[in-house]
Amino acid sequence: MCRNIRQLHDFDPPASKEEANDASLQYVRKISGSSKPSRANQEAFDRAVAEVSAATRKLLDSLVTSAPPKNREVEAEKRRARAAARFA
């Protein structure tokens, strides 16, 4: 599951709220051990995703770098190349 969490810092354009939420969802799924919580746990699960997403946005908004922003397409191509080499 955690392999789906991608770096969100230092991209142009900056990571969207949706990307931060998707990463937060993957994180909560991983640490809870559940990809789909029971109805009894749904509220706690959703609250955790919202809190992690808010913390993620706060972190991303606070980080500074002197490096030039990365290109999403170039980074995606690098990931595909690594996957092709790993699974070839």
Share of the chain above pLDDT 90, in %: 72
Give the 3-state secondary structure of residue 29: helix
Give the 3-state secondary structure of residue 38: coil
**Which domain range does residue 17 map to?**
2-87
Supply the pTM of this predicted model.
0.80
Are 15 and 8 within 8 A, CB to CB?
yes
Peptide bond into 69 cis (omega under 30): no
For residue 38, the tally of other CB atoms under 10 A from its CB is 8
Note the pLDDT of residue 2. Answer: 54
Domain count of the chain?
1
CA 7 vs. chain centroid, Å, equals: 7
Note the pLDDT of residue 72. Answer: 87
- Going by pLDDT thresholds of 50, 70 and 90, the confidence category of residue 1 is very low
- Going by pLDDT thresholds of 50, 70 and 90, the confidence category of residue 7 is confident
Which tokens hold the place of 44? Answer: 């706690």
pLDDT tens digit sequence for 28-70: 999 999 989 999 999 999 999 999 999 999 999 999 999 999 9
Q: How far apart are the first and last CA of the chain?
A: 21
